[in-house]
């Protein structure tokens, strides 16, 4: 198991389109799967519907809300793969040009109106990659 540096981690994040945004809702941990794209180092996601995520897309003068963002590609059998976790401020995307550009690039989900577009600026970036061959499961005949 090898730790990834920031560049490697964000590079891997850019190779997939699905991740999970992690935030606090009514003082409880909350998590939702979303699609993302990377614009430079920024992670851009679209918020759909009027659920818990919608508050992240509401216009604000605050510096934003701290969220975590996770994506992974891990083989359930071999455990080989990688996981990346980013922590940073999430803010609504306000610039109409940016919104149009992101809207064109991020595919919509089925049957959900788009509430807004959110940009996460990575502050902490961590990740690991599992490259080695795993040890045999404890239920193996020689175990």
Least Å distance, CB 124 to a second copy, is 9
By three-state DSSP, how is residue 131 classified? Answer: coil
> Would you give the distance in Å from CA 114 to the centre of its chain?
18
Burial of 53 (0-12, 13-18, 19+ CB in 10 A): buried
Among 14, 37, 38, 66, binds a second copy (CB under 8 A): 66
Among 8, 11, 16, 39, binds a second copy (CB under 8 A): 16
Least Å distance, CB 80 to a second copy, is 8
Q: Alpha-carbon torsion 34, 120, 70, 101, what sign?
A: positive
The residues binding a second copy (CB under 8 A) are 1, 16-18, 20, 22-24, 28-33, 35, 66-68, 70, 72, 74, 76, 79, 83, 85, 87, 103-104, 107-112, 130, 132, 134-135, 137-139
């Amino acid at each position: 198991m090898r730790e990834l540096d920031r560049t490697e981690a964000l590079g891997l994040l850019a190779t997939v389109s699905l991740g999970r945004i992690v935030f606090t809702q009514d003082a409880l941990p909350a998590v939702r799967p979303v699609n993302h794209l990377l614009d430079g180092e920024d992670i851009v996601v679209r918020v759909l519907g009027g659920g818990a995520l919608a508050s992240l897309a509401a216009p604000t003068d605050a510096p934003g809300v701290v969220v975590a963002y996770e994506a992974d590609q891990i083989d359930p059998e071999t455990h080989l793969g990688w996981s990346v976790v980013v922590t940073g401020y999430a803010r609504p995307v306000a610039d109409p040009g940016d919104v149009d550009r992101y809207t064109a690039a991020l595919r919509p989900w089925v049957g959900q109106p788009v509430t807004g577009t959110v940009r996460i600026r990575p502050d902490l970036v961590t990740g690991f990659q599992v490259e080695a061959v795993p040890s045999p499961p404890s239920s193996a005949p020689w175990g």
